[in-house]
Chain A
Amino acid sequence: MNVTCNDRDRIFEDGTPAEWAALEAHTAFCPLCAEEVRAWKSLSVAAKELRDYSDSPSFWPRIERVLAKEAARNAPRAERKGWFSFLLDLSPAWQTALAGALVLILTLSAGRIYLRRPFHGGGTVDPSLLKSQALKEVESAETAYERAIDKLAAEAKPHLESPATPLLANYQEKLLLLDSAIAELRVQAGMNPSNAQLRYQLLAMYQEKQQTLEEVLEAKRQ
């Protein structure tokens, strides 16, 4: 297998053992790649300096005490649950039969209640009212959250406008990506406002943005 200098970064990122071997062979004739490979590997060697697996004998007993305490606290709750545990001992056929009987009882009860319900003429209740109310709450919470993040963004803006370090430049790029993703999600959410999944995704993006902005401010403080 032949590799060239152009393959180097790709192999660093995701090279197979064969590609690494080929790159090593290539370094014999290419001083530039030899230096790059050496420096790349030296980071892995340096990382070992961050390993400290020394034992602290008092640590496990401390954890064990906390776990035992928690277990003791949960024991009465487990006993209360024990009342239902006989269900787990039944065979699957009996479990199915019991579940079927329960469903039948519930259906009969619901039917009975429905047939005997008092008749209300006139005023109809909009079935989507609660949903709309919930949606309104979500939207107002989102707006408040967005405003708070905007304040954070305004604080971080001076550092990002002309990033002084590669790290800040990375943050700026990430924030641009996040903003574009947020804008796209907002468009989708606008078209399908009741889609909870989209709302969760939007929230996750806002949280990521908030965290990134916090990291920017933290980086600047350091």
Chain B
Amino acid sequence: MGTMGLALPWKARISSTPRERGKRVEPSEHFAGGPSPAAVDALSEDAALAAACRSGDLRAYERLYTVHGARMKNLARNVLGNPMDAEDAVQETFLKVQRSIASFRGQSSFVTWTYRILINTCYDARRSRLRKKEVANDDSEQTPGLEPRAPGAHPSLRMALERALAKLTKHQRDVFLLYEVEGFRHAEIAGMLEMTETASKNTLFQAKKNLRLMLEPPRSSAAEVR
């Protein structure tokens, strides 16, 4: 295990860029002294957005879309595997938010609540797709659908990662996507997936361990690269 590296398809290794830990610190874990002014602003903006959506103001939904739409669609695409299903899931999520906003009591943040609905909607869609047996001959689980993704720097790495992600458990995949891809904090993920922060951290750890095992090259090829 000691000389393990990710099996990168272009036979190179990802540079060891330090994680931008400062940009995503867990306030509840490492800092005391109450929320920062930025966090307070975010909370009040979240409450204002919820109130505006509750009043039926479509511009509030547009604001929600402007701030979170792209991220919601990206998350849905990574869970569902293709952009068309992802758009349907995001649209369905907005509709569900509109229908049930009256019952939102603010136990969690509005945005967290919205993402929770999105994740549930994605898994409902996945289940219904499985039931229809569309998955049997459907490569869309792993490959992009009709609408191509914006070209990334390393398309083959993306595909390898997508294949490996598909083999993780649902929770491991969700936590990895929410934390590493979408940049949410463990406290937020805990709210979205209805788990504790500790469970979220542990699940991410397990997910990354499993991904590493799956993406690890055979020892001989690792030696070649070196």
Contact = CB atoms under 8 A, between A and B. Distances in A.
Interface of A: 9, 12-14, 16-17, 20, 24, 31-32, 35-56, 59-60, 62-64, 66-68, 70-71, 165-167, 170-171, 174, 211, 214-215, 218-219, 221-222
Q: Would you call the interface of chain A mostly helix, strand, loop, or mixed? A: helix
A63 B65 contact: yes
A9 B78 CA distance: 27
B95 A67 contact: yes
B18 to A, nearest CB: 7
Interface stretch (B42-50, B103-111, B200-208): B200-208
Contact of B18 (A41, A59, A67, A166): A41
Chain B interface size, as a band, is 35 or more
B95 A70 contact: yes
Contact of B136 (A46, A215, A221): A221
A64 B14 contact: no
Given A13-B205, A17-B21, A66-B94, A46 B157 contact: yes
A220 to B, nearest CB: 11
Interface in B176-226: 176-177, 180-182, 198, 201-202, 204-205, 208, 210-213, 215
B3 interface: yes
Nearest to A78: B56
Interface of B: 1-6, 13-19, 21-22, 25, 29-30, 56, 58, 61-62, 65, 69-71, 73-74, 77-78, 87, 90-91, 94-95, 98-99, 130, 135-136, 141, 147, 149-150, 152-155, 157-158, 161-162, 166-170, 176-177, 180-182, 198, 201-202, 204-205, 208, 210-213, 215
Contact of A46 (B6, B95, B130, B210): B6
Contacts of B94: 63, 66-67
A39 B71 contact: no
Contacts of A40: 208, 212
Nearest to B207: A43
A17 B4 CA distance: 24
